[in-house]
Structure 1
Amino acid sequence: MSYKTVFYVLVIYSISLLTPAYAKHNGFEGHDHATKLKADKSVDASDVTVLTNEAVIIVHGIVCSFCSQGVTRNLSKLPFIDKSKYTKGVKVEIEDQKVTIAIKPDSTLDLPQVFKSILKGGYEPVEAYVKDHAGNITLHKADGA
């Protein structure tokens, strides 16, 4: 083998050592996105608190703050999100895999658009809980989003 070939092999090997094999964006050793959290199981509706002008969405696949930032970025672009609340109108609870969105008081929530926005980021919306003006909480499944 020539010195030139050895040099190129070493350069490529060195670059491969610097490239993360999987998401370690927060410095957690062994962190991967295949980890299943407790929220991958069904959620009891009594465990979900929904305030007026908000919706709570159960989303599978959010396992770290980097995931949380992506979900927040996508959802905050929707026109009916009230960006004056939470972080740009979105609160993500990683451990429970719950996403709460604040809705502008004079806007109409478009759940199919919310579900599509979450899917676009690579996450799985499962269901959404929404409180109507009479105070009733309704469950909306994300099937077919």
Structure 2
Amino acid sequence: MLPPSRTPPSTPALAPTPDPLTPDRDITHEHFQAGDQVVVIKGVAGKELWGDAVRVVAPSWHTPTDEDGWRLRDPDGGAQTFITAHPRYLVHLSRHCPDCLIYLRAMADHLLPRFAGHDDAVIDCGWYTITTLGQLVHVADARGGR
């Protein structure tokens, strides 16, 4: 399995799909360090997982979960060059650590069979949104009135 890559250029199809893994993932703030390249898994592209690749920049409070998060930088810039995210949303790309590999494999085992017949499609599972404060929020962490 290849590591997830940046969102493919085609417009993804939104396919609300339950995420039984990320909300219960037990990864602490200390698991990541400034400078780490990480990915946020968002769905499936063809026969692979895909997501947004970003770099960990600095510690930052993640308001939606009231826990330590990380400030992330999108190397492609744009309207959301910097966002804040909870560590459980992140997977290492810059190094192969056992915790991230286990999560990545479990996510592949969960998602790839669901979309096996959509070989050319880019599927966004609809798990994340970005708040007006520039915070990436998983649907399981979203609170009313954000």
TM-score of the two chains, using structure 2 as the length reference: 0.26
More strand by share: 2
More helix by share: 1
Query: Which of the two has higher C-alpha Rg?
Result: 1
TM-score of the two chains, using structure 1 as the length reference: 0.26
Structure with larger RCO (C-alpha < 8 A, sep 6+): 2
